[in-house]
Each structure stands twice: as structure tokens, then as C-alpha cells.
Amino acid sequence: MIEIKNNILYFDGCNTLDLAKEYGTPLYLYSENLILSKLNEIKSSFLNKYDNTRAAYAGKAFLTKYMCKLIEKEGLSLDVVSGGELYTAIEVDFPAERIEFNGNNKSIEELEMALDYNIGRIIVDNVYELERIIELCREKNTTSNLLFRITPGVMSDTHDYITTGKKDSKFGIPLDEDILFPAVKKAIKSEYVNFLGFHFHVGSQLHNNLSHVGALDVVLKLIEKVKILFDFNIKEFNMGGGFGIKYTEEDDPMPISYFVDPLMKRLDSFCQNLGIVRPSVVMEPGRFIVGEAGIQLYTIGSIKEIPGIRTYASIDGGMTDNIRPGLYQAEYTGLIANKASDKSNKTVSISGKCCESTDILIKNIKLPNPESGDIFAVFSTGAYGYSMANNYNKIPIPGVVLVKNGKSELIVKPQNYADMISRELIPKHLR
Ligand SMILES: Cc1ncc(COP(=O)(O)O)c(C=O)c1O
């Protein structure tokens, strides 16, 4: 899907220079064929390979009406983490039973919205939330399917900021017996909630399966304990997401089967030994589905040489459209789309236009003599770029264009200056 023809970068059959001209820069691009190829891998290595499985797209990676429609059409479920994400899904009539709601501080309004739309599952993140859900269900005379997100206490080989499964985490119910088991008992006994089982998410951008396997061992112990204590067999287990992708040459991502196969094998033999039916198994990938399917285009403006130290090539976007390098030192690579096969002879740092020294998109990348007016393309920007976009320095959020087999279509209009200040009010005494 990423090709170079006549020294020009093409993405899913589209000439990126033409796209930059037509839609302007900065610009988010998504290749539908690349998204579909990832969904196909999930289908062949997980959904079609193992019975009684589901995959829920973690919408936080990139949630738009388009993604909801595509995910629905492809038969996946959807994981939302806020009223806004749920609203997006409701607006396009995403099937309620295929929605699950994660998050460590769902508000009463968000829980009510979820119950009113009758979504498939709420993933309970703490005991306080369990009590709120039971209360709300009683008031509304309704019921809800629940999973408990646990904190399995395993470390993962990723940046500390995107590690979520270790013990000291804001996410999930701790394993302490006097916290977890009374909550499980309450959920099993309650007439208002239907306890299905356990969920974990151990971290993101993982290239090895040790955290998933370690966390599964924790869940297996819980399955056994819950059976002994409450004579209850869990019906569902959710392994979260976290499957890594390729950002730079250093990344060597593993296929989905590398994560899933050992888990399924262990779970199957454990259930056989215990004489229980294997629970349904769910995964929740976000980055894996959209990360490599997105690229971003920028126009290079100022070039600043500091002799003997560094050359900065500044782009017309930055931490407002991709905050990840500034937030947790995420690394990317890219090329000059109009000099795509020229020899890279100059080391530069690509800096954003925001008033913040950490607004450096790529430190030290070799490029073919970058000049003002060049179009710079950054790869693997599809996850957590657009969805974390912000208006720092009152910079508008760029538009999003979908490309497929040489055709392009706008799926999110770019923000303009008027959009950005449309909700601002002047107080009476200054009018
Ligand atoms: C509960 C949960 N599920 C799924 C995901 C998706 O993770 P990834 O995009 O790494 O697959 C996250 C990410 O933070 C998460 O917190």
C-alpha cells in the first residue's frame, strides 16, 4: 500500500503530493485496505480459528463515524471509554449488544447512557463503580452484563506511561482477596447485574507475549477460586489489546497468533483439567488495527541550521496533531514525499510549530536535503494521533482523508479558526 513511483510517495494507490494539494497540509490519511488487512489477520488467526471468540476494536486509537461503520460491517465489536465515544457509536446506530464500555472513572451520566442504550457489557474498573451500576440498574429496573477488569500485577516491556497491568496502576481492581472476592460475590448475587468474568489489559505496543501469558495465569487462578468459593464458572475472559506495530526499523512486531495461540492453548487445557466449558474469549486491539494504516503529511517551512550542532526542519503541524513524541518519547520515521527515492544525505530534526521545546516530531532523521515547500510524510501515525489531537496555540485540527485503490474521500473535515472559537463567550461586563 506504500509505494514509490517516479520519486513520489503513493499511499493505497494515491499520489500523496496530489492529496497534499487537494486537501492541504497537515493532513491525516488512512488506507482502508491496510485496515482491512489487519482485520483479516484478526479473523484468520483468532475469530475463525477458535470458537466462541470476539474482537472489540478499542476505539480510543481512532474513533470516527467512519470507523464505527467499518467495524460494524466487518462484524467486530466496539470498545468505548467515554460518553463521547459512545455517542459517536450511537449516532451511527452501532449495534448495542456489540459495545463494551471500559474506563476508570465512568460518570453517572455515562453509565446511564450505556444502560439506556442497553450496551452489551460494562467493564467494571473498581468497586465504587460496581456499586453505582447496581444502584442505577435498580433505579432503572434494568440489568447489565459486567466483566471485572483486574490489575494482574505483571510488568510489560513498554514505556512506563503506556503500562497498565502493574500493581500500582489507576486501572483495574487489585487482586487483594478482601477487595476482589467480596465484589465478585456481590455481582454474582445481585439480581441487577449479570457477572460474566474477568478482563485485563497489560500495556501497549508490546513485542513479546510474556505479560499476556503472565496475566492469563493470574486469571486462571481466579477462575478456579471463583468456582471453589461461589460455585460459579465464568462465561467470558477478555485479554485486552496491546499488540505492537512497526513504527521504526527497530520495531519487529509479532503476528496476532504469537499472542493468541499460547493463551488459547493454556486456557483450553486448564478448562479441560478443571472440567469446565472454556469461557468465551475476547480481544480488544486498537493500535494493531489502525496504527500502520495511517500516515500524516506536512509541509516543511523554516529550516534552521545551528552550525556544528543540529539542523531543524520545521513542519506546519506538530504536537497538536501528534502529541505522542512529546508525551512519551514515541518514535516515528518518515520521508520527503516529493523526493521519495533520492539519497538521504542530511541529518535533521523535524520540529513542530508549537511553542514548546518538546515539540520535536522526529529527532535525527536522514533526509535528502530538506527544503522549504517539501512534503514530509510520517508513517504509522494511525493510532492515538488524531484521537489525541488538541488545539494548543489555537492550531486547528487537520482533516482526515480515507484512501483506497487510488481514490480519496474526506472523512473528517479540517477544523477552521471559527470552529475553534465557536464555543467561546465574552462575559457581560466586557461586551
Ligand atoms: C482497556 C484497554 N483495552 C484496549 C486498549 C487498546 O490498546 P492497544 O491500542 O495498544 O491495542 C487499551 C489501551 O489503552 C485499553 O486501555
Q: Which CATH number belongs to the domain containing residue 77 in this structure?
A: 3.20.20.10
Q: Find the 205 Cα to ligand 1 centroid distance in Å.
A: 9
In a domain, 45, yes or no: no
What are the distances in angstroms from CA 20 to CA 24, 290, 414? Answer: 5, 21, 13
Give the model's pLDDT for residue 285: 98
Ligand 1 contacts CB of residue 288 (under 6 A): yes
In a domain, 38, yes or no: no
Residues 241 and 200 in one domain: yes
Residues 250 and 356 in one domain: no
Give the model's pLDDT for residue 44: 98
In a domain, 44, yes or no: no
In tens, the pLDDT along 81-128 reads 999 999 999 999 999 999 999 999 999 999 999 999 999 999 999 999
Give the model's pLDDT for residue 83: 98
In a domain, 46, yes or no: no
Residue 403 contacts residue 31 (beta carbons within 8 Å): yes
Domain that holds residue 67: 63-285
Residues 346 and 303 in one domain: yes
| Closest residue to atom 1 of ligand 1, CA basis | 201
Give the model's pLDDT for residue 168: 80
In a domain, 58, yes or no: no
Q: Is 77 helix (H, G, I), strand (E, B) or coil?
A: strand
Q: How many residues does the chain have?
A: 431
Q: Find the 425 Cα to ligand 1 centroid distance in Å.
A: 36
Q: Find the 162 Cα to ligand 1 centroid distance in Å.
A: 9
Residues 303 and 271 in one domain: no
| Closest residue to atom 10 of ligand 1, CA basis | 242
Domain closes at, from 264, 285, 306? 285
Q: Minimal CA–CA distance to 77: which of 291, 282, 288?
A: 282
Residues 211 and 124 in one domain: yes
In a domain, 385, yes or no: yes
Ligand 1 contacts CB of residue 61 (under 6 A): yes
Give the model's pLDDT for residue 198: 98
Give the model's pLDDT for residue 169: 85
Residues of the chain predicted below pLDDT 70? 155-166
| Closest residue to atom 12 of ligand 1, CA basis | 241
Give the model's pLDDT for residue 166: 63
pTM: 0.96
Number of folded domains that form the chain? 2
Give the model's pLDDT for residue 9: 98
In tens, the pLDDT along 187-215 reads 999 999 999 999 999 999 999 999 999 99
Domain closes at, from 235, 253, 285? 285
Long-range contacts at 395-398 (CB < 8 A, ≥ 24 apart): 395/317, 395/318, 395/320, 395/321, 395/353, 395/354, 396/420, 397/320, 397/321, 398/24, 398/25, 398/26, 398/27, 398/28, 398/296, 398/317, 398/321
Give the model's pLDDT for residue 159: 52
In a domain, 429, yes or no: no
Residue 1 contacts residue 12 (beta carbons within 8 Å): yes
β-strand partners of 146: 122, 195
Catalytic residues: 355
